[in-house]
Structure 1
Amino acid sequence: MFEQSVRNGRRTSLTGLLLALGDRCLVLPNVAVAELIGYQAGAPAEHSPPWLLGWIDWRNQRVPLLSFEAACGAPVKVGERARIVVLNALGGSRLRFVAILVQGIPRSCKLDSQLNYVDVPLAPLELAAVQVGEQVARVPDLPALERLLEDAGLV
């Protein structure tokens, strides 16, 4: 899933992106991100869950915009550095793309074989927490995120 550097048949490092949210940081493989775009308010959707921020138009497609934090039970925060990351859907649904609200520009990171898991409470849409430099980053459950959209009747 992460881009890998391979030497003599052994994985030496992984390349990912750190996405700053309002109350946590996510780490994703580079290939999961289709594009980073400026913040735009989503077109409202009737009877939508609080984590759905509406629909955005991206490359002539209608894409659901959501708050990962709100989907995990935290309040929605749109800061002055807000951006939108458009993610490639994994193909388990009819979705092709999902947009999530982030607070700033994603940072590239190298993750090596010394990656340490951190024992912290996880939200329902998080698979794990890992130490990336000085920061604890959460690994999101992207298939569960797509199922959340499907279960809400948004796909």
Structure 2
Amino acid sequence: MLERLISQRTSHLTGLLLPLADRNLILPNVAVAELIDYQPAAFDLDTPPWYLGRVTWRNRQIPLLSFESACGQKIVIGERARIVILNALGGRPGLKFIAMLVQGIPRSYKLDSQLSYVDVPLCALEKAAVQVADQVAKVPDLLALEELLVTAGLS
């Protein structure tokens, strides 16, 4: 997805580096609707461990997830925790946005068509790893995240 957007827009795209507890994710700016303060969400014990409940955003109830937990790691809610609201891309009528826990404020980076791919282990929800400035960032599979919510009946 990231590569396609870069090639469609001359040779530059602004990306956001999202800090997680154990990795950084990189997304095109257009994938992020808003960054909001962390708010605890109510959830049922019957839900998957990566599902953190629903948060309120613009009078909507948005499903909140932990990307790290969906990749098999433990959930971390640090003192700098925030929530990123992502635009859903799959065209599902009941799923317009996804909330994801992040561990700080995303940083903006100019990306170009000369992204350097890095060979590191990826989880099933990651499409690639790239070098962004002095950090390795993973490219999340946003459609797979949506499918995770839909399959679990949480969209």
Match of 1:138 in 2: 138
Q: Which runs of 4+ in 1 moved over 3 A?
A: 1-6
What SS is found at the alignment partner of 2:11?
Answer: strand
CA distances 1:90-134 after superposition (whole Å, capped 9, x unpaired): 133220110000000000001122210001110010000000011
TM-score, structure 1 as length reference:
0.92
Q: Which residue of 2 aligns with 1:65?
A: 64
Pairwise CA RMSD:
1.8
1:27 alignment counterpart: 26
**5 Å matches for 1:1-155?**
11-93=10-92, 94-155=94-155
Question: Which one has the bigger strand percentage?
Answer: 1
Partner amino acid, structure 2, of 1:99: A
CA distance in 2, matches of 1:17, 1:101: 14
Larger Rg: 1
CA contact under 8 A between 1:45 and 1:55: conserved in structure 2? no
Task: Tell me the amino acid that sits aligned with residue 41 of structure 1.
Answer: P
Q: TM-score, normalised by structure 2?
A: 0.92
Distance 2:31 2:113 in 1: 21
Instruction: Give me the identity figure in percent.
Output: 66
> How many Å apart are 1:5 and its aligned residue?
9.6
Distance 1:107 1:16 in 2: 8
Q: SS at the partner of 1:31? A: helix
Greater Cα shift, 107-116 or 135-144: 107-116
Provide the rounded CA distance (Å) in 2 between the counterparts of 1:15 and 1:121: 25
The letter for the 2-side match of 1:135 is Q
Alignment check: 8 A CA contact 2:7 2:113 kept: no
SS at match of 2:41: coil
Task: Give structure 1 stretches of 5+ with no counterpart.
Answer: none
Amino acid at match of 1:85: V
Cα distance in 1 for residues equivalent to 2:7 and 2:113:
11
The answer for unaligned runs of 5 or more in structure 2 is none
Deviation string for 1:37-86 (max 9, x for gaps)?
Answer: 00000111341100001111111111001000000000000011000000
